[in-house]
């Protein structure tokens, strides 16, 4: 059954969708992946660059032939690329130009005999001309399938419930949100992160489990990649990355064992975010999906999510100083509004999206954004919002049940006239202090002191990386009627290392996306850490307070 699922995935995968899994398979076979193209102007002329176990540089050109064959006519079309692959040095700072490299043409389809003959003749010609090292090798469907099945054999879902979960993911249409809870059920046992798992994991087993999980993630994405559902692809690779960090943290593995896989997953995340925003720009502000009448319950949420993702992408590109193409910054800024009036605060789960947009406003135009963040804090402490643990789909179903009598309410949360508990009230107060908004804190304190601020602290350090943790403590805080400004400032300066594994704290994009997908993990120290990472110019101001 599992072999058939992998075969089906490989026969339906496009070049972009099987590239991350291919890179993970290279890692499992002892290669060191140096570069995996993000499909932008800087591609070094090859899709994947790696160093083999014997130290020889390798360049791979990937082609997608799902369910088919690489024909002679197709080969002739890409011949100039392949000639460049074989005859030109690899232009990458980590690879010496003095060392001859190996060249591979990779396809997830079969290679027709005429193509094989043409490649053989070209290799023979180079050898006769005195360049025997200028040789093009091929990796086709059967070899890729063999590599994938090697990873599947030991660690993939074997229990009936796990296999059923994988099949449920694969039966999705692909145009909806990625089922994060289901991927959690698959990755938790594969990474030996279930309660009670405590035996040691050797480095070799750790690496194989990591590569197996990456392949499992790629297979689970089959229906979503087929629909070009970029946010679903982002979601899945974020979950894989965060769980991989939790896996490494739990078993105390060296960072270099997991870093290559994280780098590849993050490249896939950036690539899909870029493609999502390119599509949004091309739509010119028209984000409706399908029938407009049927789309109204989700339009505001989708628009808010887009703004949150675009803001985060803008912040990340500014932080790293790298935009895939020069004009993309202008295109992304055209998507982002100057205020938050059209965004939907559908529940506490939307708070990170509002904060990312606010940070974009603050960084793009220093001195702005303070009024919006104060308004957001007031909303959190005044409006009864759906709890942080409710996903947007649950909220939408509940609201529809109130509109149509035939529907039954799906959420039992009861609302009064004002908010009484919140998972973000203390975080918002600390964030206001972090930005030296003392008067706003004074104005809000009366309301804040009448609320219960909730936080869940996982039992173990690594459990922060789980979507759902069964072990931990619920902390409740009822602030005093009067408070000290210095205490708020100290809270905003708490070190994140006490709450989040360092491997995750060092990757702001992953951590921010984890907060967007799992807002119950967006604790006070995490939000303040992310703000510092993306708004470094405000650090001196915070310390001075």
Alpha carbon distance, N-terminus to C-terminus of the chain:
61
Residue 222 lies in a domain: yes
Residue 451 lies in a domain: yes
What's the token pair of residue 517? Answer: 């997908």
Its domain, for residue 261, covers 156-283
Last residue of a domain, one of 154, 188, 222: 154
262, 170, 173, 166: which is closest to 211 by C-alpha? 262
131: domain CATH number? 3.40.91.30
Same domain for 383 and 527? Answer: yes
| Domains of the chain: total | 3
Same domain for 399 and 413? Answer: yes
Helices and strands per DSSP (H, E), number in the chain:
23, 10
Residue 289 lies in a domain: no
Same domain for 475 and 528? Answer: yes
Looking at residue 407, the DSSP 8-state letter turns out to be S
Same domain for 114 and 60? Answer: yes
What is the structure's pLDDT at 40?
47
What is the structure's pLDDT at 66?
86
Same domain for 201 and 60? Answer: no
What is the structure's pLDDT at 538?
43
- Indicate left, alpha or beta for 157 from its phi (over 0: left) and psi (-120 to 50: alpha): beta
Residue 288 lies in a domain: no
Residue pair 344/350 in contact by the 8 Å Cβ criterion: yes
Same domain for 516 and 435? Answer: yes
Residue pair 253/498 in contact by the 8 Å Cβ criterion: no
Following DSSP, what letter does each residue of 268-295 receive, concatenated?
HHHHHHHHHHHHHHHHTT----S-HHHH
CA distances from 279 to 274, 287, 509 (A): 9, 10, 21
Last residue of a domain, one of 99, 129, 154: 154
Residue 259 lies in a domain: yes
Same domain for 275 and 324? Answer: no
- Indicate left, alpha or beta for 274 from its phi (over 0: left) and psi (-120 to 50: alpha): alpha
Report helix, strand and coil shares of the chain as percent, to nearest 5: 60, 10, 35
For 305, half-sphere exposure in the C-beta direction (CA atoms, 13 angstrom radius) is: 22
216, 215, 235: which is closest to 174 by C-alpha? 235
Q: At what angle do helices 292-320 and 524-534 cross, to 10 degrees?
A: 60
Same domain for 471 and 342? Answer: yes
What is the structure's pLDDT at 292?
75
What's the token pair of residue 91? Answer: 């232009």
Residue pair 3/149 in contact by the 8 Å Cβ criterion: yes
Same domain for 327 and 265? Answer: no
- Element at 298 (helix H, strand E): helix 292-320
The β-bridge relationship of strands 136-139 and 452-458 is unpaired
What's the token pair of residue 57? Answer: 């540089």
What is the structure's pLDDT at 496?
87
pTM of the model: 0.90
Same domain for 384 and 456? Answer: yes
Same domain for 528 and 398? Answer: yes
**pLDDT digit string (tens) for the chain, length 545 residues:** 678 888 888 888 888 889 999 999 999 899 999 988 765 444 444 789 999 999 999 999 999 888 899 999 999 999 998 998 898 888 888 888 888 899 999 999 999 999 999 999 999 999 999 988 899 999 999 999 998 888 766 666 666 678 899 999 999 999 999 999 999 999 999 999 987 777 889 999 999 999 999 999 999 999 999 999 999 999 999 999 999 999 999 999 999 999 999 999 999 999 999 999 999 999 988 888 877 777 888 999 999 999 999 999 999 999 999 998 889 999 999 999 999 999 999 999 999 999 999 999 999 886 678 999 999 999 999 988 999 999 999 898 888 887 666 666 667 766 555 668 899 999 999 999 999 999 999 999 999 999 999 999 999 999 999 999 888 899 998 899 998 999 999 999 988 888 899 999 999 999 999 999 999 999 999 999 999 999 875 433 333 32
CA–CA separation, 23 vs 6, rounded Å?
16
Last residue of a domain, one of 130, 154, 178: 154
Burial class (CB in 10 A: 0-12, 13-18, 19+), 318: middle
Same domain for 241 and 126? Answer: no
């Amino acid at each position: 059954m599992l072999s058939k699922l992998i075969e089906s995935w490989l026969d339906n995968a496009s070049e972009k969708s099987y590239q991350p899994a291919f890179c993970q398979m290279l890692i499992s076979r002892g290669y060191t992946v140096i570069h995996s193209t993000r499909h932008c102007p800087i591609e070094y002329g090859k899709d994947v660059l790696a160093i083999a176990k014997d130290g020889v540089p390798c360049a791979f050109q990937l082609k997608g032939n799902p369910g088919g064959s690489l024909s002679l006519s197709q080969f002739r079309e890409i011949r100039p690329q392949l000639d460049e692959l074989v005859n030109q040095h690899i232009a990458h700072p980590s690879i010496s130009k003095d060392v001859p490299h190996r060249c591979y043409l990779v396809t997830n389809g079969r290679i027709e005999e005429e193509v094989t003959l043409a490649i053989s003749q070209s290799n023979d010609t180079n050898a006769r001309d005195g360049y025997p090292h200028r040789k093009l090798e091929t990796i086709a469907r059967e070899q890729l399938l063999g590599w994938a099945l090697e990873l599947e054999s030991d660690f993939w879902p074997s229990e009936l419930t796990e296999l059923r979960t994988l099949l449920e993911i694969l039966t999705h249409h692909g145009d909806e949100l990625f089922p994060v809870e289901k991927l959690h059920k698959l990755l938790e046992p594969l990474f030996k992160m279930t309660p009670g798992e405590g035996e040691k994991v050797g480095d070799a087993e750790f690496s194989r489990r990591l590569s197996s999980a990456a392949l499992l993630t790629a297979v689970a994405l089959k229906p979503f990649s087929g629909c070009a559902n970029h946010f679903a692809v982002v979601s899945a690779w974020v979950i894989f990355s965060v769980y991989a960090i939790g896996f490494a943290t739990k078993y105390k593995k060296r960072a270099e064992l997991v870093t290559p896989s994280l780098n590849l997953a993050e490249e896939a995340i950036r690539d899909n975010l870029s493609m999502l925003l390119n599509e949004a720009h091309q739509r010119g502000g028209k984000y409706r999906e399908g029938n407009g009448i049927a789309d109204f319950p989700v339009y505001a949420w989708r628009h808010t999510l887009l703004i949150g993702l675009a803001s985060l992408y803008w912040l990340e590109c500014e932080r790293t100083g790298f935009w895939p193409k020069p004009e993309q910054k202008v295109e992304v800024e055209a998507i982002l509004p100057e205020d938050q009036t059209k965004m939907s605060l559908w529940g506490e789960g939307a708070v990170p999206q509002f904060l990312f947009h606010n940070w974009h406003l603050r960084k793009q135009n220093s001195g702005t954004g303070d009024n919006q963040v104060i308004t957001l804090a007031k909303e959190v402490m005044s409006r009864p919002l759906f709890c942080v643990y409710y996903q947007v789909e649950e909220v939408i179903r509940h609201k529809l049940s109130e509109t149509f009598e035939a529907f039954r309410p799906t959420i039992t949360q009861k609302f009064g006239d004002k908010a009484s508990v919140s998972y973000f009230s203390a975080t918002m107060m600390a964030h206001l202090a972090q930005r030296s908004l003392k008067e706003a804190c004074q104005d809000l304190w009366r309301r804040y002191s009448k609320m219960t601020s909730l936080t869940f602290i996982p039992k173990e350090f690594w459990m922060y990386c789980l979507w759902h943790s069964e072990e931990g403590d619920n902390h409740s805080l009822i602030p005093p009627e009067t408070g000290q400004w210095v205490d708020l400032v100290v809270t905003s300066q708490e070190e994140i290392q006490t709450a989040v594994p360092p491997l995750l704290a060092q990757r702001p994009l992953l951590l921010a996306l984890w907060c967007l997908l799992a807002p119950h993990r967006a604790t006070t120290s995490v939000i303040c850490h992310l703000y510092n990472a993306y708004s470094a110019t405000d650090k001196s101001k915070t310390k001075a307070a």
